[in-house]
């Protein structure tokens, strides 16, 4: 009989404070983030300027007009119109039932538009095999102090250490350390954002303009001064490899950093479930249950409204990685993720260990 673990989280005092903040701070989104967008690229081989799934895309300007154009095999140019910036972060998650992955190739402003180039690969052993794939993609940029509950921070880490882009809600300096701690290993320090618990959610995406890479969370260590996150990156055969990467931490806020809107979001960390890292903005049920050797079925209750977004990232050392097997569905207000799917570096099923985050746009 399949193990089923259900978290029923009644509204706590913390949640009550969050609800009060919804009523008292309707302009929170105007401060953080400045601009954001998300989309589901639903057609693996799209025509040029293809309008991505209109039921699963949105932007901070409230115009769902994000498009994608194919480039070379497996590479896509995603255009988020009218939200260009120079200090953002991007994430991408492949959506497929076989061992493959997607990474950020590059992102940059093009006039008023924000471009995110995505590269996808399929597993074929030692041979590098770019391939077409569906995927979820998001971009967000922030500045200034955080308004409302929870916290939010991000970095784009350099392959040699240091940061290209960074946001800290307290104006403190996020750091990325690499030298002397091993190939493909990075220590990210986010000062001021920790409660001392493993709560909130992390998302990590590899970024490389020349080579296949996968990055994941190896460990996260909360402390009084901030949050330490160990990131490990690998090449297509699972060997440790240096890489740029994008990392976002969010607690009691959406994955793109906003609050009110959205009022509806939820997330979990599989290895800490149930616990403080499993959170629903409305204090409702979260379900996480095995669905196969490398599959985990997830439900987020009472947060599935309008257009929404999901990101997944793998957890724990080792070259395994996790994606979405299928795109999520809404059943009433229940978000159904069937399933998170995880693979070894050799393309074989492995036990799912992951972070997952869902955010509505309302």
Q: What is the pLDDT of residue 137?
A: 99
Region 83-105 average pLDDT: 98
Instruction: Give yes or no for residue 252 having a pLDDT over 70.
Output: yes
Tokens linked to 101: 């992955």
Q: What is the pLDDT of residue 32?
A: 78
Residue of higher predicted confidence among 178 and 224: 178
C-alpha distances (whole Å) from 213 to each of 103, 229, 289, 319 are: 7, 19, 29, 10
Could you tell me if 62 and 307 are in contact, meaning their C-beta atoms sit under 8 angstroms apart?
A: no
Tokens linked to 83: 């939200």
Q: What is the pLDDT of residue 23?
A: 24
CA distance 231 to 217: 5
Strand partners, 203: 248
Q: What is the mean pLDDT of the chain?
A: 92
Q: What is the pLDDT of residue 250?
A: 99
CA distance 312 to 174: 23
CA distance 266 to 9: 12
C-alpha distances (whole Å) from 251 to each of 10, 113, 257, 307, 335 are: 18, 28, 9, 21, 19
CA distance 202 to 268: 9
C-alpha distances (whole Å) from 183 to each of 105, 178, 214, 229 are: 20, 8, 13, 16
Element (H, E) at 167: strand 163-167
Judge if the upstream peptide bond of residue 262 is cis by omega within 30 degrees of 0: yes
Strand partners, 184: none
Region 79-87 average pLDDT: 97
Could you tell me if 299 and 287 are in contact, meaning their C-beta atoms sit under 8 angstroms apart?
A: yes
- What are the extents of the domains in the chain? 1-362
Q: What is the pLDDT of residue 21?
A: 26
Q: What is the pLDDT of residue 17?
A: 29
Q: What angle do CA 230, 236, 238 make, to 5 degrees?
A: 55
Least Cα distance to 297 among 318, 319, 270 occurs for 270
Could you tell me if 257 and 36 are in contact, meaning their C-beta atoms sit under 8 angstroms apart?
A: yes
CB within 8 A of 179, min separation 6: which ones? 160, 161
- How confident is the model over 46-63, as pLDDT tens digits? 999 999 999 999 999 999
Q: Is 149 left (phi over 0), alpha (psi -120 to 50) or beta?
A: beta
Least Cα distance to 136 among 92, 74, 70 occurs for 92
- How confident is the model over 293-328, as pLDDT tens digits? 999 999 999 999 999 999 999 999 899 999 999 999
């Amino acid at each position: 009989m399949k193990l089923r673990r259900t978290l029923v989280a009644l509204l706590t005092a913390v949640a009550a404070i969050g609800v009060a903040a919804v009523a008292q701070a309707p302009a929170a989104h105007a401060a953080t983030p400045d601009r954001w967008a998300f989309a589901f690229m639903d057609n693996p081989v799209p025509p040029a300027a293809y309008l991505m799934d209109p039921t699963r895309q949105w932007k901070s300007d409230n115009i769902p007009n994000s498009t994608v154009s194919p480039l070379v095999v497996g590479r896509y140019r995603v255009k988020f119109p009218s939200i260009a910036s120079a200090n953002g972060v991007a994430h991408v998650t492949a959506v497929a039932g076989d061992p493959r992955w997607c990474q950020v190739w590059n992102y940059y402003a093009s006039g008023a538009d924000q471009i995110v180039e995505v590269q996808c690969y399929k597993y074929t052993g030692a041979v590098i095999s770019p391939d077409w794939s569906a995927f979820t993609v998001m971009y967000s940029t922030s500045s200034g102090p955080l308004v409302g509950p929870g916290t939010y921070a991000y970095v784009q880490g350099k392959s040699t250490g240091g940061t290209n882009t960074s946001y800290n809600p307290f104006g403190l300096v996020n750091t990325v350390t690499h030298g002397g701690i091993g190939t493909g290993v990075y220590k990210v320090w986010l000062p001021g954002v920790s409660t001392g618990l493993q709560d909130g959610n992390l998302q990590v995406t590899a970024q490389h303009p020349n080579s296949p890479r996968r990055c994941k969370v190896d460990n996260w260590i909360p402390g009084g001064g901030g949050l330490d996150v160990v990131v490990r990156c690998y090449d297509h055969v699972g060997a440790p490899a240096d890489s740029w990467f994008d990392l976002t931490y969010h607690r009691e806020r959406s994955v793109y950093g906003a609050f009110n809107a959205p009022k509806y979001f939820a997330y979990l960390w599989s290895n800490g479930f149930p616990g403080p890292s499993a959170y629903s903005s409305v204090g409702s049920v979260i379900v996480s249950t095995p669905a196969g050797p490398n599959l985990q079925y997830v439900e987020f209750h009472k947060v599935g409204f309008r257009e929404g977004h999901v990101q997944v990232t793998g957890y724990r050392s080792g070259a395994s990685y996790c994606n979405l097997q299928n795109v999520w569905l809404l059943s009433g207000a229940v978000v159904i993720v069937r399933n998170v799917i995880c693979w070894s570096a050799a393309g074989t099923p492995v036990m799912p260990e992951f972070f997952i985050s869902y955010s509505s746009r309302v």
